[in-house]
């Protein structure tokens, strides 16, 4: 009576354990952990990451305790705290963009191309100062959102109309975005200043003001922190409290069930890609409006890929991703302090990678533990009460 019960319980490739959902569902946080297990997973991950990093440091011939001490000292200085917050803001927005796709089983690898192309065009428009003051900020934001959305929308349309995997399409669009961005820079928006090709800076009255949040340092916290927090709340509300969010999650959990329920899956794919791209377009804005005020070769790169890692770290949960973004930003910024201990700064990259892997492994272990425990319980219960099943045959 139940071969279908067992085999259809997960996405394809769920393996044969008969548990709920496949590895991918668990990886993307579509299966929730409850009770003490929800706490056990991240704790396990931190311990595991610290352990591996210690081993790596020992192999490299440095003392793990000294390294962790240096990191702790670095992280508690007022100035670095402000710097960490500022880069975390960008990471967080990028992670949100990735997570929107993840919740629907769409892998938007193209956040990287989307934010860079959006930043170039927005920087060009902003530098032209078509509107005065705050209106210019709004214009820049609208342009960035539109460019990101359009660029991601191409991948969505290709998937719906031609069945092109969004993974392939967005990766290739990343490459095209790189070319398009340099063409735009050299032929339209760029101004050669000495050796540096950059867009015209955004006028001072249209720059995002910083906030003196952290005392003891002149380093201001980027005003975009507020925008990032609002986006995080909006992400939660949209996914969990609206019909659209329900349809998005339902499609992510089971496309056949969504189809049978009258959800227009194709429309959802395009809408979700566009939404993901729109948020991606904002990822470069803290830098553009709050820090450098122009797009140049020094503009942060690879934010989109950081976003993927952080979305995985935070299991697509808005609070989890915020913590993940802070941790990521801390590790990225702390590499210099490691160099002072003669530890190569690439160690910080190893730590980042190890952390992501530990989180994935820890959650998977905890999930598997839960499945086995559940199966054992179900086994005991059904064995204790075979009467109901047995009556039939």
Partner 1 sequence: MRQRPRFPGPHAYDLVCHRPPRYSSRRGPAISTATVTAPAVELTGITKRFPGVVANRDIQLRVTKGQIHAIVGENGAGKSTLMKILYGMQRPDEGEIRVEGKPVAFHTPADAIAAGIGMVHQHFMLADNLTVLENVILGSEPRRAGVAVDFRAARRKIKEISDAYGLGIRPDVPVEELGVGDRQRVEILKVLYRGARILILDEPTAVLVPHEVDELFENLRGLVREGLTILFISHKLDEVLRVADAITVIRRGTTVASVDPKDMTARRLAELMVGSELPSPETRESTVTDTVVLSVRDLTVGGVDGRAIVEGVGFDIHKGEVLGIAGVEGNGQAELVEALMGIRPCTTGSLMLDGKDISGWSTLKRREGGIGYIPEDRHRHGLLLEAPLWENRILGHQTRRPNVKGPWIDRSGARADTRRIAEDYDVRTPGIDTAAAALSGGNQQKLIVGREMSGDPVLLIASHPTRGVDVGAQAAIWDHLRNARANGLAVLLISADLDELIGLSDSLKVILRGRIVADVDPANVTPEQLGSAMTGAGEAAAQ
> Can you state the angle between helices 224-241 and 318-333, rounded to 10 degrees?
150
Task: Yes or no: say if 275 and 99 are a contact pair by the CB < 8 Å rule.
Answer: no
Please count the residues of the chain: 393
Residue 199 in 3-state DSSP?
Answer: strand
Task: Yes or no: say if 310 and 181 are a contact pair by the CB < 8 Å rule.
Answer: no
User: Binding residues for partner 1, how many (CB under 8 A)?
Assistant: 52
Kindly give the pairing relationship between strand 190-193 and strand 196-199: antiparallel
- Least CB distance to partner 1 at residue 276 (A): 19
- Least CB distance to partner 1 at residue 44 (A): 22
Per CB under 8 A, contacts with partner 1 among 206-265 are 240-247, 249-250, 253-254, 256-257, 259-264
- Least CB distance to partner 1 at residue 25 (A): 6
Residue 320 structure tokens: 């989890």
Of 154, 121, 157, whose CA–CA distance to 139 is shortest?
121
Residue 200 structure tokens: 């015209």
Distance CA 215, CA 74 (A): 16
Q: Does 374 bind partner 1 (CB under 8 A)?
A: yes
Tokens 């011939």 belong to 61
| Helix (H) or strand (E) run with residue 328 in it | helix 318-333
Q: Does 392 bind partner 1 (CB under 8 A)?
A: yes
Q: Does 79 bind partner 1 (CB under 8 A)?
A: no
- Least CB distance to partner 1 at residue 163 (A): 14
Q: Which is nearer to partner 1, 336 or 382 (CB)?
A: 382
E runs forming strands in 36-95? none
Among the residue ranges 27-35, 43-51, 125-133, 174-182, the one whose residues contact partner 1 (CB under 8 A):
27-35
Q: Does 18 bind partner 1 (CB under 8 A)?
A: yes
Q: Does 21 bind partner 1 (CB under 8 A)?
A: yes
Residue 329 structure tokens: 């930003």
Q: Which is nearer to partner 1, 102 or 295 (CB)?
A: 102
- Least CB distance to partner 1 at residue 87 (A): 34
- Least CB distance to partner 1 at residue 320 (A): 17
Task: Yes or no: say if 210 and 290 are a contact pair by the CB < 8 Å rule.
Answer: yes
Q: Does 25 bind partner 1 (CB under 8 A)?
A: yes
Q: Which is nearer to partner 1, 56 or 253 (CB)?
A: 253
Q: Does 20 bind partner 1 (CB under 8 A)?
A: yes
Query: Can you give the binding site for partner 1, defined by CB under 8 A?
Result: 1-9, 16, 18-21, 25, 30-32, 240-247, 249-250, 253-254, 256-257, 259-264, 374-375, 377-379, 382-383, 386, 388-393
């Amino acid at each position: 009576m139940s071969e279908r019960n067992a085999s259809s319980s997960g996405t394809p490739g769920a393996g044969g354990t008969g548990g709920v959902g496949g590895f991918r569902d668990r990886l993307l946080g579509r299966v929730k952990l409850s009770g003490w297990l929800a706490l056990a997973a991240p704790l396990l991950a931190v311990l595991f990451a610290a352990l591996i990093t210690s081993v790596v440091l020992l192999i490299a011939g440095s003392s793990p305790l000294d390294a962790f001490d240096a990191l702790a000292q670095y992280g508690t200085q007022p100035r670095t705290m402000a710097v960490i917050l500022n880069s975390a803001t960008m990471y967080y927005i990028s992670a949100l963009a990735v997570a929107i796709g993840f919740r629907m089983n769409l892998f938007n690898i193209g956040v990287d191309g989307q934010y860079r192309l959006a930043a170039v065009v927005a920087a060009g428009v902003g530098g032209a100062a078509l509107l005065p003051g705050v209106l210019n900020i709004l214009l820049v934001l609208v342009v960035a959102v539109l460019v990101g959305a359009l660029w991601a929308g191409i991948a969505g349309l290709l998937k719906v109309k031609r069945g092109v995997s969004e993974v392939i399409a967005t990766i290739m669009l990343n490459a095209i975005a790189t070319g398009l961005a340099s063409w735009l820079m050299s032929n339209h928006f760029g101004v050669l200043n000495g050796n540096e090709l950059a867009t015209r800076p955004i006028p001072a009255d249209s720059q995002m003001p910083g906030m003196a949040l952290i005392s003891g340092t002149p380093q201001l916290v980027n005003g975009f922190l507020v925008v990032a927090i609002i986006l995080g709340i909006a992400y939660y509300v949209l996914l969990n409290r609206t019909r659209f969010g329900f349809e998005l999650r339902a499609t992510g959990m089971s496309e056949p069930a969504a189809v049978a329920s009258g959800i227009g899956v194709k429309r959802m794919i395009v809408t979700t890609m566009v939404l993901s791209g729109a948020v991606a377009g904002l990822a470069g804005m803290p830098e553009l409006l709050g820090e450098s005020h122009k797009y140049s070769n020094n503009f942060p790169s690879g934010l989109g890929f950081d976003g993927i890692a952080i979305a995985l770290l935070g299991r697509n949960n808005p609070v989890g991703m915020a913590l993940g973004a802070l941790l990521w930003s801390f590790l990225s910024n702390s590499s210099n302090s490691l160099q002072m201990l003669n530890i190569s700064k690439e160690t910080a990259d190893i730590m980042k990678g190890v952390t992501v892997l530990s989180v994935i492994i820890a959650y998977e272990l905890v999930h598997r533990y839960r499945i086995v425990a559940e199966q054992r319980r179900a086994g005991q219960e059904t064995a204790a009460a075979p009467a109901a099943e047995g009556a039939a045959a």
